[in-house]
A = this chain, B = another copy of it.
Amino acid sequence: MSHSIGDIAAAIGAEAVGNTALQVDGAAEPAEARSTDIAIAITAGFLASLDQGNARAALVPAGTDWQGLGLEAAIIAPRGRLAMSGLTRLLDPGPDLPDTCHDTAVIEAGALISDTVGVGAFSYIGAGARIGPGTRIGHHVSVAAGVEIGADCHIHDGVRIGRGCRIGAGSVLHPNVVIGADGFSFVTEAPARVEAARDALGQLDLPDEAPEQDWRKIHSLGGVEIGADVEIGAGSTIDAGTIRATRIGQGTKIDNLVQVGHNVIVGRNCLLCAQSGVAGSARIGDRTVLGGKAGVADNVTIGADVVLGGGSVALSNVPAGRIMLGYPAMRIESHIESYRALRRLPRILDRLRNEQKPVPKRAESD
């Protein structure tokens, strides 16, 4: 489908300049752009590569000399990624999910499924599940008995939704997401060595060998409640709570291969980047961002508006608004200072050692 530059600009709420009637049928990076693509050139680097491709129009930052770059038309994007959101939404053909029920799908008696729900091949919908209008479910999905899924959700292939789970309207679950598996919660009859280790933080003189004993399971009865407009990436897992639901707040976005443990409460509009993990019973405030591979220890409370950097691990509570880095995570200013000091440290220690060698002589001469 083709669009004029003017129409695209209007659709994304941006300003079009030049030959706004120019038609494009796709978007591309500047160096790979055909003459019928709009080039996405929202950074200086991309602007510089416009001449390697054939674009006649581009999405450019405010203040760009688009004519000087040989373009016939441009869309001015004062906030490039925001314009990208509008542009890619316009060009997206929509989710690759069925809008009718496939013959092979199994829908158990008593499931309440609106006429406008799509269910893909080989999917299984348990008894009494309720699925809101407009929701589209892919292939090989399993939805347990009694699960509630709101309107206009996208549930991609291979997703598993366990007993006692509720998914808010407009949410997106990417392939192979698992919602509502049992929490990882075990206890030994007598205190286990690992408990003593946690209590002691190394102060205690633990015996080197512990008696053999079994782990007894604390069962997960609480399910998972996912708010509206939540997105959860491929392969991520959100465990069921013990006696109340694990909760993900409205508007929160979760990337791929993220783990959210039992009883966790994640606030609204958070970002949990790929491979981050939140251990059992931790709480994450609104708008908080966990970078890729970041970790939050169990029972820890992270305030609102916190940024925990990629690869960092919060082992204790973090007040609202903090930017944290490292292992264990500390304020970013302290981390940068300590890291710089650490890099200088070997040379400084060498110098100290050299200075100390003559010290005895000077002591003698005193």
- Using a CB–CB distance below 8 Å, which chain A residues touch chain B? 27-29, 32, 40, 79, 81-82, 84-85, 88-89, 91-92, 96, 102, 104, 106, 120-122, 124, 126, 138-140, 142, 144-145, 156-158, 160, 162-163, 172, 174-176, 178, 181-182, 184-189, 191-194, 197, 201-202, 206-210, 212-221, 229, 231, 233-235, 237, 239, 242-244, 251, 253, 255-257, 259, 261, 268-269, 271, 273-275, 277, 279, 286-287, 289, 292-293, 295, 297-298, 304-305, 307, 310-311, 313, 315, 320-321, 323, 326-328, 330-334, 336-346, 348-349, 352
Contact = CB atoms under 8 A, between A and B. Distances in A.
A32 B244 contact: yes
Contacts of A237: 233-235, 256-257
16 contacts: A27-B221, A40-B243, A88-B221, A88-B242, A89-B219, A197-B332, A201-B336, A212-B287, A235-B235, A235-B257, A261-B274, A311-B315, A330-B343, A338-B343, A338-B346, A341-B349
Contacts of A338: 342-343, 345-346
A217 to B, nearest CB: 6
Contacts of A210: 287, 304-305
A136 to B, nearest CB: 14
Contacts of A89: 217, 219
A345 B342 contact: yes
A89 B218 CA distance: 7
A80 to B, nearest CB: 9
Given A157-B160, A242-B84, A243-B27, A184 B332 contact: no
A160 to B, nearest CB: 4
Nearest to A89: B219
Contacts of A194: 271, 289, 307
A85 B271 CA distance: 33
- Work out how many copies of this chain go into the complex: 3
Given A251-B214, A341-B342, A182 B174 contact: yes
Contacts of A297: 292, 310
A304 B234 contact: no
A313 B273 CA distance: 15
A32 B214 CA distance: 29
A223 to B, nearest CB: 11
A233 to B, nearest CB: 6
B321 A207 contact: yes
Contacts of A343: 330, 334, 338
B234 A181 contact: yes
B311 A295 contact: yes
A182 to B, nearest CB: 7
A338 to B, nearest CB: 5
A295 B275 CA distance: 10
A213 B305 contact: no
Which 3 A-B pairs rank lowest in CB-CB distance, beginning with the nearest? Answer: A208-B321, A202-B332, A88-B219
Contact of A315 (B92, B207, B310, B333): B310
Given A175-B181, A215-B253, 18 more contacts: A40-B243, A121-B124, A174-B178, A178-B256, A182-B231, A184-B256, A186-B253, A193-B305, A202-B331, A206-B321, A215-B269, A234-B237, A237-B256, A259-B274, A261-B274, A279-B310, A293-B313, A341-B345
A352 to B, nearest CB: 7
A181 B256 contact: yes
Contacts of A244: 28-29, 32
Contacts of A346: 334, 337-338, 340-341
